[in-house]
Amino acid sequence: MLVLTRKQNEAIMIGDDIEITILAVEGEQIKLGINAPKNIDIHRKEIYLSIQQENSKATQTETHLLQNINDYFKKKS
């Protein structure tokens, strides 16, 4: 992990096209501004993990449904 110290209105660059700027420091909270191409998804980590969990559930559900359809047709044969 790279650890950087930045002050308000200072920024860091990730690659050539992602810029993260410190907008404000209020107590224990920091407000960040993120400039990135529109094709880059940006989420808070807890939201990202929730999306990953939902995607995993959806994949498991599809497999279960396909197995049910397969079993149905085996019974018909």
pLDDT value of residue 71: 87
Percent of the chain whose pLDDT exceeds 90: 70
Count other Cβ atoms within 10 Å, centred on residue 72: 9
| Per-residue pLDDT tens digits for 10-40 | 999 999 999 999 999 999 999 999 999 999 9
- Calculate mean pLDDT across residues 36-64: 89
Alpha carbon 70 to its chain's center:
34
Q: Is pLDDT of 9 > 80?
A: yes
Specify the pTM: 0.68
Residues 33/20, Cβ–Cβ less than 8 Å? yes
